[in-house]
Structures are given as C-alpha cells and as structure tokens.
Structure 1
Amino acid sequence: MTDPATVLLCYCSCPDAASAQAIAEALVGERLAACVNRLPGIHSTYRWQGAVSQDREELLLIKTTAERFDALKSRLLQLHPYELPELVAVPVQRGHAAYLDWVREATGEAPQDC
C-alpha cells in the first residue's frame, strides 16, 4: 500500500490544447494537483480497436499525492474527451524535499479564512 503522502507524477495525453488546458485548470483549481505541465506537439502511435493509429497530442505531467489520486482520476475521467483516457501514476522516489513538501501542501485542504 502506498503512503498517502507519497508524491505521484501522472501522465495523461490529450487530443488538443483546449482540452489539456481545461483539465489542467480544473485539477489545479480544485487542489487535485499542485502543478500540471503541458507538453504540446507529441506524436503518439498506438493500437486502438484493432488498428495502429497515429495522432498529435498534448501530454500533461500532473503532480499530486497518493491521497488525492482517486479524486483526481474521477475528475479527469469526467473532463477528458477520450473514451479511454491515458492516466498513469508513478511514485516519486526522490526529489527536492522542499518541492515535494510544496506538492503535498498545494493538494491539501485549503486554508480557512479567520
């Protein structure tokens, strides 16, 4: 079982900039991700419905925690235009401690106003 505080790097491909931007904004805005990097201009080759296909896509690199992953996955599946969206999460084994702490803080509960 993964520690809930484990930082995850998630990969998700999108068909275009508009859907990638909408997903990124929703995930960060809803504190499901601390940061989402958008990498435009990737070329994907894949097997789908018995045929080899190729498409241009935009790749999202999503930083979150294991604790927030299920909620992130649920929201991403609501927003994503693909029938079967790619979502792969890889636990971060090492990194800059202050950055990893920031990811945990940014995906935690929002501070309450006094």
Structure 2
Amino acid sequence: MTPFGEAVRKLRERKGVSQKQMAAALNVSPAYLSALEHGRRGLPTFDLLQRIAGYFNIIWDEAEELFLLARSSDPRVVVDTSGLSAEHTAFANLLAGRIRDLDRATLGELTSIIENGRKADGKRS
C-alpha cells in the first residue's frame, strides 16, 4: 500500500462508501480504484486527483496534502545514479533488492537519517 492509497482508503471509510460506489462516482472501474489503494497502480492523473478531492469535499489544505501524498506514492520508483559514485549506485541497488526485508523501525531510522541529513556516526552532514 502507498501513503496515497492509505489516505484514500481512510477518506472512503470515513465517508462510509464502498470502492464500488466511489469508483462509479469517479467514473473509474472498481478494479482500478482497488489497485490504486493497494499500490499496484502508478500515480493518478491530476484530473483524477481533483475528482477525488471533490468527491470527498475536502478543504484546500487537505486536498494539497493528498496531492503531495500522491506525488510521493509511486510504487515503481526509478533511482538515477548516473554521474554519481559507485557507492551511490551500489547503495541504490542494495536498497532495491532488500527493501521488502526492512522492518518499520529500520525504515524509520533510515528515513530520519536521510531527511535530517545525518551521517551514520550521528553527525549532521
């Protein structure tokens, strides 16, 4: 599941509608909506994002947050390491090969390190 899919599911459950009902209102197939919620589809179009925001009648701030989640929820990420060091390329490939084995605690630690610009020794880079 992607962060966007999780957010859509929560909005849908909060509204008390099924995937089938929501899909019909958005003029998409229930299978597509299910795949979108479960992270088996790529990013939705801007048009669909707007229809989803309208369907849930969410305010601008919440809609903007949903749009940001969509942009960071592509389940098929491509990491371009061309022009970077061999270590960068090796790390990207290692992560790609082992990402399914990482538990939530490890994901949290890695996310914190990357977001905060810390080095492995705990010092800021």
Q: Report the TM-score, using the length of structure 2 for normalisation.
A: 0.25
Greater CA radius of gyration, 1 or 2? 2
Larger fraction in strand: 1
If asked which structure has higher relative contact order (CA below 8 Å, sep 6+), I would say 1
Q: Identify the structure with the greater helix proportion.
A: 2
